Structure 1
Amino acid sequence: MPLDIKIPALGESVTGGQIAKWHFKNGDFVKVGDILLTLETDKVAAEVTAEAAGTLSIAKQPGDDVVIGDVVGQIAEGAAPAAPVEAPKPAAPAPAAAPAPKAEEKPTNITEFKVVPKPEPAPEPAAKPAPSPEGRITRKKMTPLRKKIADQLVSAQKTAAILTTFNECDMSNVMALRSKLQDAFVAKNGVKLGFMSFFIKAVVEALKAVPQINVRVEGDEIVHQHYYDIGVAVGTERGLIVPVLRDADQKSFAELEQDILGYAKKAKDGKLQVSDLTGGVFTISNGGVYGSLLSTPIINPPQSGILGMHSIQQRPIAVDGQVVIRPMMNLALSYDHRVVDGKEAVTFLIRVKDCIENPARMLVGA
């Protein structure tokens, strides 16, 4: 009796998704544990594996919406079919003898006439066909994740009073410290020391200094959070996702970099779980990796703040009355003005700036 392939339970609040890809074709033989298909949900990508060995029969196609318990195919259990035996190829026939060349024919009279054919007129160029509208656009169904992102962004704009404040920071000291420590850091920890771990630590220090930003709104209540789970926005082929680094205040720079690297690999492999993406208190988004110079990031509800990092540019600035060239980064803090006042937002951003421009303080906890 064929075994039904059903959409399994995918975690709390996930009721279904969309078939993104079958990894085998209809009629293929599959083994126990083979990944049969990838399912897109509004949070993560999930994989459905074969629970028996046999021949695959596909019932639902990529792009189809499914819910938990839906039958998307079957496996006819049985051993793998034997490979077909190739019949021996017949021997190639012997080549036929070439015909003997004809004797050269002599003209029957003394004078030969050469007839030159009259050239035919060139054909008129064919009229160009009218452009087909079918090749000018491609219509593609939204994935559940993209729909979720769209709904969340619209919801944030409708429910929160989003305001953005800006500043800039001199990256000279953090770049010099990073360069000085890099070799020893990699040798000891097996990962590179990046800028993101500095900004995570700076955000934690700023949240401690301005706890009014570490809040969320629930109905008519303001919930103060006394922990520091920081989300880091990551762009993937599926869309923007925000894995959360738990208890960032208790982790070293090396542990933060290892967490970031681990999440990046899980995102690339489609292995992120719903639990990896929930519960953050604040988000950091680095548009600088794509070349962004300035932006106004949208907060990730129910959080009340998000920090936007941008590309580093060599710019002239005034230092002690002198114009010097320094590597500068624009910073943007978007916040929910319903619960965060302008003074608090500016104080928070200045604290981040101070930590980045004096990174040694974070290393020694000053």
Structure 2
Amino acid sequence: MTTEIRVPTLGESVTEATVATWFKKPGDTVAVDEMLCELETDKVTVEVPSPAAGTLSDIVAEEGETVGVDALLGNISESGSAGPEETKPRDKETKETEADAPANGGSEGKTVEVMVPTLGESVTEATVATWFKKEGDSVEADEMLCELETDKVSVEVPAPQAGTLTKILKGEGETVEAGGQLAEMSSGSGGAASSSSSSSDAPVQEEGAKGEAYDTPPAGQGTRTDVEDAPSAKKAMAEAGISRDQVTGTGRDGRVMKEDVAKAVSAAQSASSSAPAASQPQRAPSPAADADREERVKMTRLRQTIARRLKDAQNTAAMLTTYNEVDMTEVMALRNQYKAEFEKKHGVRIGFMSFFTKACCHALKEVPEVNAEIDGTDVVYKNFVHMGIAAGTPQGLVVPVIRDVDSMSFAEIEKAIAEKGARARDGKLSMAEMQGGTFTISNGGVYGSLMSSPILNPPQSGILGMHKIQDRPMVVDGEIKIRPMMYLALSYDHRIVDGKGAVTFLVRVKEALEDPRRLLMDL
């Protein structure tokens, strides 16, 4: 006996897949539920198990071919006598044999298990969303019994053969595992065939069964209230703000599908656009009180410039951000140890910015593309560092530039930062003082930011974001210790800076800050 291998249900709105890999070749022996091949869709990867034990006789759809739902993938020559494998949903010969059994023998058939299908790669469980049938209902082969929801797609479970749904083991809302049992069916006289042959015994039940199985409510007429609509359709109706009676269901038993909602929304929009303006309901005007509470202020020229440049950066650069974290223990200890002497000698306080500036200059020497810029089809490498230090002012964010910062001492850097910051707050910075930067540091930590993705300051190719220092438990030499940690974010232009260069830059900054002695030794 030959058993066909067919494409399983791929999920809602997924109609085709590509054969990615065959794990078996013709002539190989396979066991029941052993993985035969893997299909790829635009959403998930689906594994196809063997419906029966035997030998893979031939492969119909080779790797790389596109196949639709229920398409033939291959055939299995079963070994031995007919066994439990014959109840698999894709075995057509088995379906026909078992469907004929009630007519020939007139007795109840055997119990058939309804199992959870393969849910896709890395998906191990699902939730029972909707049962379309209840216990005692007659069903046809491949008729939809229930719908499962995973964190990726919705999966419909078809009846493996014609018969009667005798027992539901997993109700709506319950979680099931891949390969678990959902329900039990019985084939035989209780199946779909008996519904049309037992009219003398139960005419009322026959009429009801026909109505439930075949009637689709026409447009404009009432729909059955006991039919469960597709979860995706419910969500679409809620998002569109339309009610159930505004949608005509085309699914089985008048069930509303997602595409039905889309059609109803499109029809409503067409009707509203073609109707005369006089027939459209007038919207209530906004209360005058709202206008009284609004304030319209023209953007300052500085704010307009900031907005334009930030948006230009997003539109032009292939911007990407990579993150790391730094243990600030050593920098804080060094700063606390020498801050009094430093201020006494140089007349300025020592802060963290000089350490970060020095660390960045050190890293830029090793990764020069972060300090470069694109000019047309050329890359311009800078053999100097003009560091932009972002500063917040009442008028907006400005970035004064400290020139040749790579040749400055800690004291000179701190003095320049203090002087530029004061001029920025007083609004006395000239345009020349905010131009020509090659790299920028932005310190969002002064406002309490724990993590952010800074935007490039064009035409620069890199910007470092500093953040709040926060005590966190860290593993140090096998022990958990509380450490002052800071997240670092490097946004960079991926057109010129590769991922390797960006990560290397952040690692060098991290190493220099966690061991400041490396800066003195140029390591």
2:502 equivalent to 1:358 = no
Give the Cα–Cα distance (whole angstroms) in 2 for the partners of residues 361 and 181 of structure 1. 18
Q: 1:135: Cα distance to partner?
A: 3.4
Deviation at 1:364, TM superposition (A): 4.8
1:87-145 CA-partner distances (Å, limit 9, x unpaired): xxxxxxxxxxxxxxxxxxxxxxxxxxxxxxxxxxxxxxxxxxx8722332111001111
CA distance in 1, matches of 2:338, 2:517: 12
Instruction: State the match for 2:291 in structure 1.
Output: 134
Cα distance in 2 between the residues matched to 1:195 and 1:281: 20
Asked if the contact 2:310/2:455 (under 8 Å) is kept, the reply is yes
Determine whether 1:222 maps to 2:379. yes
SS at match of 1:299: coil
Cα deviation for residue 212 of structure 1 reads: 1.8
AA in 1 matched with 2:465: G
Q: Which of 219, 231, 240 in structure 1 is aligned with 2:397?
A: 240
Aligned counterpart in structure 2 of residue 145 of structure 1, from 302, 317, 320: 302
Taking structure 1 as the reference length, the TM-score comes to: 0.63
Q: Distance in 1 between matches of 2:520 and 2:291?
A: 59
User: Size of the alignment, in residue pairs?
Assistant: 237
1:327 aligns with 2:484: yes
Q: Deviations over 1:52-83 (max 9, x none)?
A: xxxxxxxxxxxxxxxxxxxxxxxxxxxxxxxx
Q: Secondary structure at the match of 1:132?
A: helix
**Match for residue 440 of structure 2 among 268, 283, 287:** 283
Which among 178, 183, 191 is matched to residue 340 of structure 2? Answer: 183
Map 1:201-216 → 2, pairs under 5 A: 201-216=358-373
Distance in 2 between residues matched to 1:149 and 1:267, nearest whole Å: 15
The yes-or-no answer on 1:269 pairing with 2:395 is no
Indicate the residue corresponding to 2:461 in structure 1: 304
Alignment of 1:4-15 (within 5 A): none
Contact 2:362 2:522 in 1 (8 A): no
Q: Distance in 2 between matches of 1:135 and 1:301?
A: 40
- The aligned counterpart of 1:343 is 500
CA contact (8 A) 2:313 2:456 kept: yes
Q: What is the CA-CA distance between 1:282 and the residue it aligns to?
A: 0.3
- Identity over the aligned pairs, expressed in percent? 57
Distance 2:408 2:371 in 1: 18
Cα deviation, residue 189, structure 1: 0.7
Q: Which deviates more, 347-356 or 267-276?
A: 267-276
- SS for the counterpart of 2:345 is helix
| Matched-pair contact (CA < 8 Å) for 2:385–2:404 | yes
Greater RCO (Cα-Cα under 8 Å, separation 6 or more): 1
Aligned-partner SS, 2:452: coil
Give the equivalent residue in structure 2 for 1:107: none
Aligned-partner Cα distance in 2 for 1:176–1:363: 17
- Greater gyration radius: 2
CA distance in 2, matches of 1:163, 1:133: 41
Aligned ranges 1:70-89 → 2 under 5 Å: none
Structure 1: distance between partners of 2:505 and 2:374: 19
Distance in 2 between residues matched to 1:212 and 1:182, nearest whole Å: 34
Cα distance between partner residues in 1 of 2:313 and 2:425 = 27
Match of 1:172 in 2: 329
**4+ residue segments displaced more than 3 Å:** 363-366
For 1:254, what is the secondary structure of its paired residue?
helix
The one-letter code of the counterpart of 2:376 is G
The answer for the alignment partner of 1:75 in structure 2 is none
Taking the aligned partners of 1:296 and 1:145, their CA distance within structure 2 comes to 22
* Amino acid of the structure 1 residue aligned with 2:471: Q
Shift of 1:361: 2.4
Give the Å deviation of 1:321.
Answer: 1.1
Q: In the alignment, residue 279 of structure 1 is paired with which amino acid?
A: G
For residue 330 of structure 2, what is the amino acid of its counterpart? N
Q: Distance in 1 between matches of 2:350 and 2:499?
A: 33
In structure 1, the residue matched to 2:203 is none
CA distance in 1, matches of 2:322, 2:296: 38
- Residue 416 of structure 2 is matched in structure 1 by 259
Structure 1 residue 365, shift from structure 2 partner: 4.0
For residue 344 of structure 2, give the secondary structure of its aligned residue in structure 1: helix
SS of residue matched to 1:317: strand
- CA distance in structure 1 between the aligned counterparts of 2:514 and 2:404, rounded to whole angstroms: 24
Name the CA distance, whole Å, in 1 between partners of 2:470 and 2:371: 30
